[in-house]
Amino acid sequence: MKSALLYRYMPRYSTKVMDHFTNPRNVGVIEDADAVGRERNPACGDTMTLYLKIRDGIIVDARFQTLGCTASIAVSSVTTELVKGKSLEEARMIDRHCLGDAVDGLPPGKTHAGVLVADALKAALGDYKTRAAPDTA
């Protein structure tokens, strides 16, 4: 990364964050998704939509669209990799701490990007439950 100037106000991101920011994995929409989770942080305005494809209780595909800062894009990207192949139970265990660790940590002031993505994941899993049992929702 040819970073000539990093300012005080520019958080120092880990190599992993910069990697996922520069080359985000699994960007886009799953048209026939089995679950969709959308979250917006009203303070900073960052918005994430997570699409999941689920087969026999296993997440087989994940895609995302994120309008946000470097951290929220990178955590979104890492999350899609993280959840693929996981069971719904395993996915439910993923919280903002796991997501922060998955990008080798977020700078102070940027940890709420992990919250945004964790909330979008939670929303997607909730959406799946609702779709599976609409009456009890």
Partner 1 sequence: MKDYIYLDHAATTPVDPRVVEAMLPYFTERFGNPSGVYTLSQSSHGAMEEARETVADVLGCSPGEVIFTGGASEADNAAIKGGAFAMRREGNHLITSAIEHHAVLHSCQALDDYGFETTYLDVDAAGLISPEDAAEAVTDRTVLVTIMLANNEVGTIEPVADISRAVKERAWALGRDIIVHTDAAQAGGVLDLNVDRLEVDMLTLAAHKFYGPKGVGILYIRDGTPFTPQQHGGSQEKNRRAGTENIPLIVGAAEALRLAVEEQGTNNEHCTSLRDRLIDGLVGRVEGAYLNGHRTLRLPNNANFCFDGVAGESVLLGLDMEGIAASSGSACTSGSMDPSHVLTAMGVSAERAVGSLRLTVGKSNDGEEIDKVLEVLPRIIQRLREVSGAAQPVG
Q: Using CB under 8 A, list all residues that contact partner 1.
A: 1-7, 9-10, 13, 21-22, 24, 27-29, 41, 43-47, 49, 65-70, 72-73, 109, 112
> 């929409």: which residue's tokens?
29
Candidates 30-38, 40-48, 76-84, 89-97; binding stretch for ligand FES (CB under 6 A)? 40-48
Q: Based on CB atoms, which residue is closest to ligand FES, 71 or 99? A: 71
Decide if residue 76 touches ligand FES (CB under 6 A): no
Cα of first residue to Cα of last residue in the chain, in angstroms, is 48
DSSP states along the chain:
-------TTS----HHHHHHHHS-SSBS--TT-SEEEEEE-TTT--EEEEEEEEETTEEEEEEEEEES-HHHHHHHHHHHHHHTT-BHHHHHT--HHHHHHHTT---TT-THHHHHHHHHHHHHHHHHHHHHSGGG-
> Any idea what DSSP says for residue 91?
H
Least separation in angstroms between residue 103's CB and ligand FES is 13
Give the residue with the Cβ less far from partner 1, 47 or 87: 47
> Is 18 near ligand FES (CB under 6 A)?
no
Work out whether 69 is an interface residue with ligand FES (CB under 6 A): yes
Number of residues that bind ligand FES (CB under 6 A): 10
Binds ligand FES (CB under 6 A): choice among 41, 47, 65, 87: 41
For ligand FES, the binding residues (CB under 6 A) are 41, 44, 46, 68-69, 71-72, 112-113, 116
